[in-house]
Amino acid sequence: MTTTRDILIDTATELFLGRNFGAVGTTELCKSAGVNKGTLYHYFPSKSDLLAAAIERYATSFGQAFRDIADSDAAPEEKLRQLFDVPARANRDWKTRHGFAQGCLVGNMSLELGAVDIPVREAIKHALTTWKAPVRDILHQLIETGSLARIDCDKGADVVIGLIQGGLLLAKAQNDPSHITLLAPGALAHLNSLKP
Amino acid sequence: MTTTRDILIDTATELFLGRNFGAVGTTELCKSAGVNKGTLYHYFPSKSDLLAAAIERYATSFGQAFRDIADSDAAPEEKLRQLFDVPARANRDWKTRHGFAQGCLVGNMSLELGAVDIPVREAIKHALTTWKAPVRDILHQLIETGSLARIDCDKGADVVIGLIQGGLLLAKAQNDPSHITLLAPGALAHLNSLKP
DNA sequence: CAATCAATTGACTGATCGGTCAGTTGGAAA
DNA sequence: TTTCCAACTGACCGATCAGTCAATTGATTG
């Protein structure tokens, strides 16, 4: 069952991803969600809190996709590469529908609001933590199979997320989704060069 | 000589970096620059055009820093590492003054406005082009000294910029400038693993 | 001196912003 | 049947938004 709250979160995700947080007004957002102003503020104390909820849902969704990859029976090297396919697929779909690369809600909001809105930054931090767990597991698997040196996997997970976000940024800057996976082929070599 | 136009550009850079484009109004910007509203619109047709000018100056400034590194007499491996120090130093200074990591004007505006404002995206594309030239030169030097395989240096320059921006994003998301250089140590290994 | 014009002023506009609130609705509990 | 409350409505608020414009300044020309 899709509740009004769900509709608000999904609409917010769609609109904030398509443009940005500041460029989407609450009036437009409510109209797009088929809901009245007051209803938004019945469920969320502020526009920022709606965004935080959207980030949390977005993080959970992508986190689950990462988890599915980590738990699959593919080879660990293959899993590492597949991580980059998750945002790549999302962006390809979006660009087909709307004509430009939108990036990642977490990355976008991080650079727009990371220095301004502390609650949102906390939601972003939590999103990154959620994502790091399955990535860390894949790195452990790589070590077990001998494909990766005994590096610090927590730091390694940060590196992988940095590679993904770096590619996403290039893709949006140049409006070319193919850049998203630009940093995928070198990921394993990159990780292997980290000091244990 | 610092012209009124220069003051406007510098003030815009400072404010847009400190918060974001949408969160800074023209009234505040003008007050901060010690200039009247009409003067802003005497020099720039719109707020977006002021941003584009700020991006261009910012890109030139960082591009010169990259160029200085490329033309120095340091070892090529050392030069590659020094590229990451340019934004790292800027962010360390800023955080000392303002208490948080602000990131990079080009990266920030790319994720905030890349999908919305096409002229700004063009300014961003041009900034990346400017930065790629000295990076490409360093990669050629690495190849000459035998530290790097004969990879596609244009693609390699994109990779390096992606690594820098990925680190900047992590730093802003976690309000910790030390992440800026997180992807520096693995850069050479990363590049070396690219297919020629 | 007169003429010119880029630079600058600051009050002003209509639109939109995020957020509020008194009131209505409809289904569940008593 | 009455009571109750979460869900929802939509008009409304003061503030701020990007942008405009007629008037003024002052330095540079002929």
Cα A66 to chain center, whole Å? 10
Contact B115 A18 (CB under 8 A): yes
A15 backbone dihedrals φ, ψ, rounded to 5°:
-75, -45
At B181 the pLDDT is: 97
Interface list for A 14-33 with B (CB within 8 A)? 18-23
Tens-place pLDDT, residues A132-187: 999 999 999 999 999 999 999 999 999 999 999 999 999 999 999 999 999 999 99
Average pLDDT on A94-104 reads 89
At B177 the pLDDT is: 94
User: A162 lies in a domain?
Assistant: yes
Quick one: which of B194, B185, B118, B117 has its CA closest to B159? B194
Considering only alpha carbons, which residue of chain B is nearest residue A183? B159
At B73 the pLDDT is: 97
Considering only alpha carbons, which residue of chain B is nearest residue A94? B115
At B100 the pLDDT is: 87
Q: For B33 and C2, how far is CA from C1' in angstroms?
A: 35
User: A22 lies in a domain?
Assistant: no
Q: Alpha-carbon distance B109 to A74, whole Å?
A: 38
B130 touches chain A (CB under 8 A): no
Chain B residues within 8 A of A103 when measuring between CB atoms: 111, 114-115
Q: Residue A32's pLDDT band (boundaries 50, 70, 90)? A: very high
Average pLDDT on A16-33 reads 97
Question: Between A196 and A40, where is the model more confident?
Answer: A40
Q: Residue B101's pLDDT band (boundaries 50, 70, 90)? A: confident
* Minimum CA–C1' distance nucleotide for A29: C18
* Domain that includes residue A81, residue range: 52-192
Quick one: which of B145, B158, B154 has its CA closest to B187? B158
User: A77 lies in a domain?
Assistant: yes
Question: Between A196 and B46, where is the model more confident?
Answer: B46
B137: CATH: 1.10.357.10
At B152 the pLDDT is: 98
B111 touches chain A (CB under 8 A): yes
User: A32 lies in a domain?
Assistant: no
Average pLDDT on A55-81 reads 98
At B44 the pLDDT is: 97
At A126 the pLDDT is: 98
Q: Residue B1's pLDDT band (boundaries 50, 70, 90)? A: confident
Residue A101 has pLDDT above 90, yes or no: no
Average pLDDT on B87-109 reads 93
- CB B159: neighbour CB atoms within 10 A? 28
Total structural domains within chain B = 1
A79-84 own/partner pairs: CB under 8 Å, 24+ apart: A79/A138, A79/A141, A80/A138, A80/A142, A80/A160, A80/A184, A80/A187, A80/A188, A81/A184, A81/A185, A81/A187, A83/A135, A83/A138, A83/A160, A83/A164, A84/A163, A84/A164, A84/A167, A84/A180, A84/A181, A84/A183, A84/A184, A84/A187
* Minimum CA–C1' distance nucleotide for B41: D19
At B195 the pLDDT is: 80
User: B58 lies in a domain?
Assistant: yes
Residue A97 has pLDDT above 90, yes or no: no
Residue B7 has pLDDT above 90, yes or no: yes
Chain A residues within 8 A of B187 when measuring between CB atoms: 190
User: B40 lies in a domain?
Assistant: no
B149 touches chain A (CB under 8 A): no
Tens-place pLDDT, residues B13-61: 999 999 999 999 999 999 999 999 999 999 999 999 999 999 999 999 9
B38 is near strand C: CB distance < 7 Å? yes
User: A12 lies in a domain?
Assistant: no
User: B178 lies in a domain?
Assistant: yes
Based on C-alpha coordinates, what's the Rg of chain A?
A: 18
Cα separation values, B146 from B2, B81, B192, Å: 46, 17, 11
What rounded mean pLDDT belongs to chain B? 96
